[in-house]
Amino acid sequence: MSLKPDYKKLPVSLIATVLNEIQSIEQFLHSYRQQSVHASEVIIIDAGSTDGTFAFLQNFARANPELQLQIKQNPGIKRGSARNLAIRLSTHSVIAMTDAGCRLDARWLEHLWTVKNQQQAQVVGGFFAGDARSRLEQAIVPYFLQLGTQVTVDTFIPTSRSLLIDKAVFYQVGGFREDLELSEDYELAQRLQKLPIRFAFAKQSLVYWQPPSTLAAFARKIASFAQSDAKIGIIRPKVMSIYLRYLLFLLVWHWRIDAFLLIAAVYLWWSVWKNYAVARKAWFYLPVLQITSDFLVMGATVLGLLGWLQNRAVKKN
């Protein structure tokens, strides 16, 4: 039985995708059930979970029929294609998106809806925060999330982790790329920003995301995102800045070793300083994460670009 039998429903379809989320799916569903307002329907596409996630979703949907959950399984489907499928199955003109591996703030959907109506926006980006459970996770968070100290309304890039969008605009821009497993939301955001539409930023609409729990998991995720971006021809400004930094380091190293050591020391200090406010008790991890992510991003970007060039050559032939 639902703990909240009486609640307000919005004319919104909420969509999400899942794959082997048995460790986090319960807290996601519980956080949605506790929302101050709910979507009129929830559509979740399972990409072929083998850990019991699909069965858990089905049982939850049967136990909470008032939430109007539709659970579909499509083994092997990529994330971009899965999101498109969920939106095709939706019946409302406004789509809310999030990730099933997250935890929603109790007023997440309410804040998205309120900002949309107040600002008459076609796209509303919600915000996110780290749900760190260890000091390492605390240090990892700023490497994946745009944090409050770094974000303004003009610089914020909305992601499918916390998003409200008019379905007409979604189709106008062509939806998610069907071939993408990662970076599908960033690529969509790039196309959305070229349209003459109104964006809004709902900073109080929070989704809590749990970061990788080990250095190895951090490395895999950093590399996979960088390679995925480059494979579709996207090089983010931050990636370019990493290459420029190391080009400078090499030039200084060839010029004077003592100057290089000084710059290296300053760089390590900077890696702590820039994220110290959000990782005070985990500051000693920050230099390790900085250097690890720098080299992984550079290497994975090269591999991704090689894949991009190969795909272009195949298309030409």
| pLDDT for the residue 159 | 82
| pLDDT for the residue 150 | 55
Question: What does pTM read for this prediction?
Answer: 0.85
Q: What is the dihedral of CA 79, 32, 129, 173, to 10 degrees?
A: 40
| pLDDT for the residue 6 | 45
120: left (phi over 0), alpha (psi -120 to 50) or beta: left
Distances (CA, A) of 306 to 222, 300, 302, 317: 18, 10, 6, 17
Query: What is the DSSP track for 179-198?
Result: T-SSSHHHHHHHHHTTSS--
| pLDDT for the residue 145 | 80
Please work out, in degrees rounded to the nearest 5, the angle formed at the alpha carbon of residue 217 by the alpha carbons of 226 and 188.
Answer: 35
Question: How many whole angstroms separate alpha carbon 282 and alpha carbon 288?
Answer: 11
| pLDDT for the residue 182 | 76
Domains of the chain and CATH, by start: 8-209 (3.90.550.10), 215-316 (no CATH)
- Look up residue 305 and give its two tokens: 């670009």
Judge whether 292 and 140 are in contact, CB under 8 Å. no
pLDDT in tens, the chain (317 residues): 334 444 588 999 999 999 999 989 999 999 999 999 999 999 999 999 999 999 999 999 999 999 999 999 999 998 889 999 999 999 999 999 998 889 999 999 999 999 999 999 999 999 888 888 999 999 999 998 876 555 555 667 778 889 999 999 999 999 998 877 777 888 888 899 888 989 998 988 999 988 999 999 999 999 998 998 888 888 888 999 999 999 999 999 999 999 999 999 999 999 999 999 889 999 999 999 999 999 999 999 999 999 888 877 777 76
